[in-house]
Amino acid sequence: MATSVNLAGRKLLLAGVFLCLAAMFATSVAYRVNHPELVKQFRPKQTAPQGMQGMGMGAIRDMMAKAEAEPENVDNLMSLSNAFLMMQAWDRALVFLDKARVLEPDNVVILQSMGICYFRKQQYEHAVETYERILELESGNALAHYNLGVVFKHFLNDPESAATHFRAVVDLPHGDEEMKKQARGELKELGKL
């Protein structure tokens, strides 16, 4: 008899729990139907292209619109080119760098960015022309010398020109020590140190 009372008590308890859960579900549905503003829409998180963290596509659209409205705004053109450089979109970056260079043909920062694009696109002759133009403007530009050394040594098979530029990096009185170390290593490989 005790077993049947115990079993009946369990069934009653389970039925009560089930009724409570059903009541909670029904009230929740009824509340949400009466208050639709509580429904949260799921939107997948948009991620920026690699290298573009912190700058959304909306910012790029704004800069593009500004470039249309203010085509002579070099700072905006440079911001756009830098955004595309970070995305490794070399052709897109060059579009804005070319526009900026027309406005400021002797701007070394513009020229350095163009040199990077040409190098990455494997247009080594254009890269050489660009870095040589930088050296016309700033004969002691260590980065231009170093980049020319790399292009001549590794891509244009011109070890003499490479050595000349690596030597210029090493001989600069106030150059970056890490870059000088790298240039010495390149000279040693060329047998010029």
Q: What is the pTM of this model?
A: 0.69
Q: Cα 176 to chain center, whole Å?
A: 25
Report how far residue 100's alpha carbon sits from residue 111's, in angstroms, rounded to the nearest whole number. 10
pLDDT in tens, 56-114: 778 888 988 988 999 999 999 999 999 999 999 999 999 999 999 999 999 999 999 99
For 122, the token pair is 């494997």
pLDDT higher than threshold 70 for residue 54: no
Of residues 135, 138, 137, the one with CA closest to residue 164: 135
**Residue type at 91 in one-letter notation:** D
The arithmetic mean of pLDDT across residues 110-122, rounded, is 97
